[in-house]
Amino acid sequence: MSFTVKTETFNGPLDLLLELIESRKLFINDIALAKVTDDFITHGKQFENLPMGESAHFILIASTLLLIKSKSLLPSLNLTVEEQGDIHDLETRLKIYQKIKEASHSIQALFGQEVIFPQGQSCFVEPIFAPDPAFTLERALSTLKDLINRLPKKEKLPQVTVKKVMSLEEMIGNLTKRITGELRMSFGQFTAEHRGEKVHIIVSFLAMLELVKQGILQVSQESNFGEIDMETKQVGVPTY
């Protein structure tokens, strides 16, 4: 599905539009280039992958039409040296494109006239194995062993089981719920279910300090390194 320009004054391929404008058979200002561009974008959305050649061809023709229209609208426009160089480069590319297009017609006429190999037949080449005389079987075996030793070794990474650690906010909520239900309990009783897991004990201790700071808990310790007793005056649902 090739792209076709459809306007009020022209209906046909993009190459023909450029040819008519360059030969002054069609006025450039009668063509809305913005609409032509929008139509091409709509045309391109029909394809999952638009061929690169078709996109490049449109950009080349569209840029030429834009240059022609700019000159017709602003005939006295003064261009910089860089802009003049870009125009010269574009004109050179267009001339090369025109020569390639003219040559393609001759190639198309000559194509297939002198067939060297008929279709479906290829030139048979018998394979010949001619190793170097110095390449012996022992050398081949040594080279193969050296290649195997150079291959990357499969590394067995140690497997680590990541345990879920209760966050400080969760531990504060858990401790608040337990202490308001039982009114009084020791720190050891609260951490009994996490005995041996230092991370949980540390988080539990930080939660206790935070509740003491908020005035929800009162703690006492009878002796150094003794049990820490916790109690609260906030009564919840008692636990029996």
What are the tens digits of pLDDT across the range 171-219?
888 888 877 777 777 877 777 766 657 777 788 888 888 888 888 888 8
The answer to whether 191 and 206 have CB atoms below 8 angstroms apart is no
Rg of the Cα atoms in the chain: 43
Q: How confident is the model at residue 163 (pLDDT cuts 50, 70, 90)?
A: low
**β-strand 11-13 against 4-6: which pairing, if any?**
antiparallel
User: Domain 168-231, what fold?
Assistant: Arc Repressor Mutant, subunit A (1.10.10)
91, 155, 214, 235 from 184: Cα distances, Å: 93, 54, 17, 11
203: Cβ contacts below 8 Å, ≥ 6 apart: 165, 166, 167, 168, 171
pLDDT digits (tens, 9 = 90+) for 99-137: 787 777 777 777 767 766 666 666 677 888 777 888 888
Alpha-helix residue ranges (DSSP H) falling in 29-80: 33-44, 52-73
**Edge-to-edge, what's the strand order for the sheet holding 228-231?**
184-186, 228-231, 218-221
Structure confidence at residue 237 (pLDDT): 47
Tell me what the pLDDT averaged over the chain comes to.
76
* 79 vs 225: which has the higher pLDDT: 225
Q: Is the pTM of this model over 0.85?
A: no
The answer to whether 207 and 172 have CB atoms below 8 angstroms apart is yes
| Amino acid identity at 112 | G
Percentage of residues in the chain having pLDDT higher than 70? 81
Backbone angles phi, psi at 219, to 5 degrees: -120, 155
**β-strand 218-221 against 228-231: which pairing, if any?**
antiparallel
Residue extents of the structural domains in the chain: 4-74+82-101, 168-231
Span 9-18, mean pLDDT?
79
Structure confidence at residue 122 (pLDDT): 66
d(CA 189, CA 89): 86
